[in-house]
Amino acid sequence: MIIHMRILARAACAVVVLAWMLGAPALAAAQQLVIVVRHAERADAGAPQGRMTAAPDPPLSAAGKARAEKLASMLSAAGVTAIYTTEFKRTQQTAAPLAAMLGVTPKTMPSNDTAALVADLRARHARDIVLVVGHSNTVPDVIKAFGGPVVTIGDDEYDNVFIVVPATGAFTRIKF
């Protein structure tokens, strides 16, 4: 009887170890996070009254620079290994404090090509934690492309951090 119990215990251990080994790759792939933020506050505060468009490439305001520093402080220990921005100053300046802290050179991608951004992230950073700094009209597309829900960002919203787990579609929105 004792011998049979030992055999069953060993068999159970073997099953647990085998299940863990088979599941480990899936668990590792599920650990990728895509952290998505809109750039911080613009120096020009958007389109002025009476004009349809704003300045083409404004830098961050003082409040925007402070928010970029706060974001860097928040994410400095998050495990970010890659940072993506668009070609515009405001996204690059939003990412700059964290990039400097981590010693990471941000990769610039065209703001009008979400498909290329997503493909690059999937190809180069399948198991990494990545920060993407975009715009109110591009952040929702990036979130959706990685399995997150539909989100809307108001013209005056600069305080959202969106976290998506692409393997599961798990999603969190944090205000900062």
pLDDT digits (tens, 9 = 90+) for 92-139: 999 999 999 999 999 999 999 999 999 999 999 989 999 999 999 999
Residue range 68-93: mean pLDDT, rounded: 98
CA–CA gap between residue 13 and residue 124 (Å, rounded): 36
CA–CA gap between residue 56 and residue 1 (Å, rounded): 80
CA–CA gap between residue 85 and residue 138 (Å, rounded): 11
CA–CA gap between residue 59 and residue 42 (Å, rounded): 6
At 45, is the pLDDT very low, low, confident or very high (cuts 50, 70, 90)? confident
pLDDT, residue 56, reads 81
- pLDDT over 90 (residue 48): no
Residue range 66-70: mean pLDDT, rounded: 98
Residues β-bridged to residue 80: 129
At 29, is the pLDDT very low, low, confident or very high (cuts 50, 70, 90)? very low
pLDDT, residue 53, reads 56
- Looking at residue 158, what DSSP letter applies? -
- pLDDT over 90 (residue 12): no
Instruction: Determine phi and psi for 123, rounding to 5 degrees.
Output: -75, -40
Q: Which two tokens stand for residue 12?
A: 């159970």
Q: Give this prediction's pTM.
A: 0.80
